[in-house]
Amino acid sequence: MLYVIATFTIKPDSLEHVMEAAMPCIIATRAEAGCVSYELNQNLTDKNELVFVERWENRSALDAHSKTPHIAAWRDAGAKYIVARNIEIIENGAVETL
């Protein structure tokens, strides 16, 4: 099992736009082979911080995900609203930060 924790800081008052851009990607990703779960959460104390929590069967499923048209569309559509990002991949107890 492989986990991805992707934390994004978005511009103030952009949540509606970010969600509109993210939802098609979330729906399509949940249908991908190897995706165990894919959830988007909002920080309770910082409304401009969003956290994707993902579970993948293996690295090859995650690698395939990164090459899909819906992830490319999300990156393009969401880029103008994202101020900062931190992505951590957790596999076998080791954490890789991108």
Q: How confident is the model at residue 47 (pLDDT cuts 50, 70, 90)?
A: very high
Structure token digits, residue 7: 């934390």
Task: Give per-residue pLDDT as tens, 82-91.
Answer: 999 999 999 9
- Report residue 76: phi and psi, to 5°: -65, -50
Domains by residue range for the chain, with CATH: 2-97 (3.30.70.100)
**Cβ atoms of residues 81 and 10 within 8 Å:** yes
pTM assigned to the model: 0.91
Can you tell me the distance from the alpha carbon of 23 to that of 6, in angstroms, rounded to the nearest whole number?
16
Task: Give per-residue pLDDT as tens, 54-96.
Answer: 999 999 999 999 999 999 999 999 999 999 999 999 999 999 9
